[in-house]
A and B are shown apart, each in its own frame.
Chain A
Amino acid sequence: MIRRSTLPRRIADSLFKITSAVSSSLGLLIMIIIVSTILYYGASMLSIEFLTSPSKPYGEAGAGIANAILGTLLITFGAALIALPPAMAAGIYLAEYGRDSKLASILRFTGNVLMGIPSVVVGIFVYALVVVTFGRFSGFAGSVALAFLMFPVVMRTTEDMLRMVNDSLRESVLALGETRSRGTLKVIFRAARGGILTGVLLALARVSGETAPLLFTALFADSWPTSYFSGPTASLPVLITDYTMNSPFEAMHRAGWGAAFVIAAIILAVNLVSRYYAEKEKL
């Protein structure tokens, strides 16, 4: 006789299924609420003028956010230039050379700690390190702060992605008479590049929305970001904070929403691009 599944078991099973389904749709729901709110308040702001004019002092007409968009791009890419080479080199060391060595485990631990440090603390630190030293706020100081946030993430991604490459590939490069370093760069790194690129883009997207570190470093300016190395530089997150928190003007609140919409769109685009690359590299 075939035993039948009991009723309590079936009920428990479907309860579990329903709970997990509801929970996962909760995540989707939150996403939808955020995006639709930003769309509702921000989309109406979008105009050529808004996207191409620089911001202006409180209350002046014809203001835009173009300087903040450019500033965010500058600061973020500056951070990437500073952080990527050493972070990738560190990731290569961890995956290819250090592996189980003492130094590697210290480095890994340090990376984890660094990842957990609140970004506002990094902001204060870079304020003391760069802003005070050079005697001025600057976009560059903002880049340094974001670079500190990027470094551990990129190091970790690089290590993880390289580790996913099978050792047999390492062996077969070496077996051809290739050196370890060139084999790593020309073959192993190449095998992992899709994952690494994805990680880098996600890290970029993440730090481009950071506000706290920039308040202490890049600050803000109602001008085009021409003095990246020498003066305050506008950015979208700081513009949003400033306009929505510090301004009494309804028009600026709405401009803040518009900027929120723009930065969300940029980050979404970066996410989609990184997904595209991840899929393409999978083969």
Chain B
Amino acid sequence: MKLNRKYKIRTDNLSFWYGERQALFNNSLDIEANKITAIIGPSGCGKSTHLRVYNRIFELYRGQKAEGKILLDGENILDEDVDLLDLRRRIGMIFQKPTPFPMSVFDNVAYPLKLHYKLKGSELEARVEAALKGASLWDEVKDSLGKNGLALSGGQQQRLSIARAIAAEPEVLLMDEPTSAIDPIATAKIEELMDSLRERFTIVIVTHNMQQAARISDTTAFFYRGRIVEVGDTKDFFNNPKDPLTQDYLSVKFKK
């Protein structure tokens, strides 16, 4: 059964250090194409750290170091000569806090389009509209595209961040606790949105919210102290956790 699955990303033996402190230990994880993979685990277990290696965003900071292999369609993105700008065009990211740029809604979404495709005029407008529709934000902002992105509500700002991330048509979307800073209704909207995005993108989401992982993901991976304890099809994972650690974690979390 496993044989006919198509993997977009295969992580092999990934370890990670913050300076002297090792945060990830020999992570190996396969991310299926056009599916949602959820990464769960307690605070500080390394789930965000793991995700932040996929687009090498951690390199913004001094002293952080990754070892191992992450194969994107078979090619190792940790190779030194990888063009980071192109890598990040192919792998988009959504962060915990919405991050609208200090410019209009339109310019926010147009930013990556101008950057990677040098689009202008009506073509640019069409792509911006498509991205905003893709992020289920179009109806709310179509009459105020000139409004500053920072003036939107929290939930709208996060959908704007998603629109910006999908505008340049990446292949993979990384989501680092995308709903932890917004209210439940906005969260529901974004979960709904993710369901529709799955057809076009391979999604990896880090979440501290078990129920969210159970609701939206196809595969779930459980991290504990920098190690991957268990990976499985989401239904299976939550119904029949195999590892005692996973069983403990799930029972404690769900009983509360």
Contact = CB atoms under 8 A, between A and B. Distances in A.
B115 interface: yes
Contact of A190 (B95, B101, B165): B101
B164 interface: yes
B128 interface: no
B101 A187 contact: yes
A190 B103 contact: yes
A185 to B, nearest CB: 12
A38 interface: no
Nearest to A167: B60
Contacts of A99: 62
B95 A172 contact: yes
Contacts of B111: 176, 178
B159 to A, nearest CB: 14
A174 B97 contact: no
A124 B102 CA distance: 44
Contacts of B151: 283
Contacts of B96: 168
B221 interface: no
Interface string B82-125: 00111111001101110101110000000110011000000000
Contacts of A187: 101-103
Q: Would you call the interface of chain B mostly helix, strand, loop, or mixed?
A: helix
A176 to B, nearest CB: 5
A175 B174 CA distance: 10
B85 A177 contact: yes
Nearest to A190: B102
Contacts of A173: 101
A172 to B, nearest CB: 4
Contact of B93 (A169, A172, A191): A172
Contacts of B202: none
Nearest to A99: B62
B136 interface: no
A170 B161 CA distance: 13
Interface of A: 99-100, 166-179, 187, 190-191, 283
6 closest pairs, A vs B, by CB?
Answer: A177-B88, A172-B99, A175-B93, A177-B89, A177-B85, A191-B102
